[in-house]
Amino acid sequence: MQELREILTGGQSFSWKDEGNCFSAVLNEKVYRVTSEEDFLKDPWLKNYYDADFDYSLARETIKSKDGILASAVEAFPSLRILRQDPWIALISFILSQNNNIKRITGLYNALSQAYGHEVEKGYYSFPTPEELSRTSIAELRKLRVGFRDSYIMDAIQKADILKEIDSLEYDEAEKKLMSIRGIGKKVASCVLLFGFHRMEAFPVDVWIRKVLEKYYPGKGLEYFEPYPALCQQYLFSYARFLKLE
């Protein structure tokens, strides 16, 4: 359960709730409850969401061969992967993530769901679509305590159609397009591209990753992490955060 906890609640998704005996999320107009990797493989939609068809075995062996830090990270999290999330959910989630921690981001995600989503099962609410969230206002968002992110969310609602263009764009163009939304910088754009569009060339750099790069990879460019930069980043993020790599 610990490794599944890291995949589902470790910072790439804020949709999942640890209920003790299972993890639950409202996705695809359903409440999903899982206790193991096998649960993802039994359901066609969850199987795709879990990115089950990607050759992670090959990727992990390649990553392990790079250096001792990455080898230790892979050993610590042998099933780590990148979830295939909905682009709109990823966009708003990572706007909420700015200057925030996982617990609070998840709380704001749930607050938006309860206020503007719809009930799928008793007590379980979907994340609001752009149309549903368009009912909000700066004043209402302030009541939910989203802070300075309120104007960013409002601009994202107005520009939600940008998401329809991303798949047709090269990475740099897609990044610039996302950065045309108020408040979105390079880090948030790269998170949206990775977790919302599965652009595996992305390499989001937050505080944790910056510290790791400065200490363990000085002078190395991001090309060092090819051909799996996104997965290398996720391994370094999890390893640094949980095992306090310093």
Order of strands across the sheet that contains 30-34: 17-18, 23-27, 30-34
Alpha-helical runs (H) found in the chain: 2-9, 37-42, 44-49, 56-64, 68-76, 87-96, 102-116, 130-133, 138-143, 150-158, 171-178, 186-197, 207-216, 229-243
Let me know if the fold of 56-80+198-246 is the same as that of 87-184.
Answer: no
Q: Which fold has domain 56-80+198-246?
A: Endonuclease Iii, domain 2 (1.10.1670)
pLDDT along the chain (246 residues), means of 10: 89 96 97 97 97 97 96 94 98 96 96 98 98 97 96 98 98 98 97 98 92 93 96 94 66
pLDDT of res. 16: 98
Q: Which of 17, 47, 64, 187 is catalytic?
A: 187
Q: Any bridge partners for residue 24, and if so which? A: 17, 33
The second-level CATH assignment, the architecture, of 87-184 is Orthogonal Bundle (1.10)
Is position 187 annotated as part of the catalytic site? Answer: yes
Domains of the chain by residue range = 56-80+198-246, 87-184
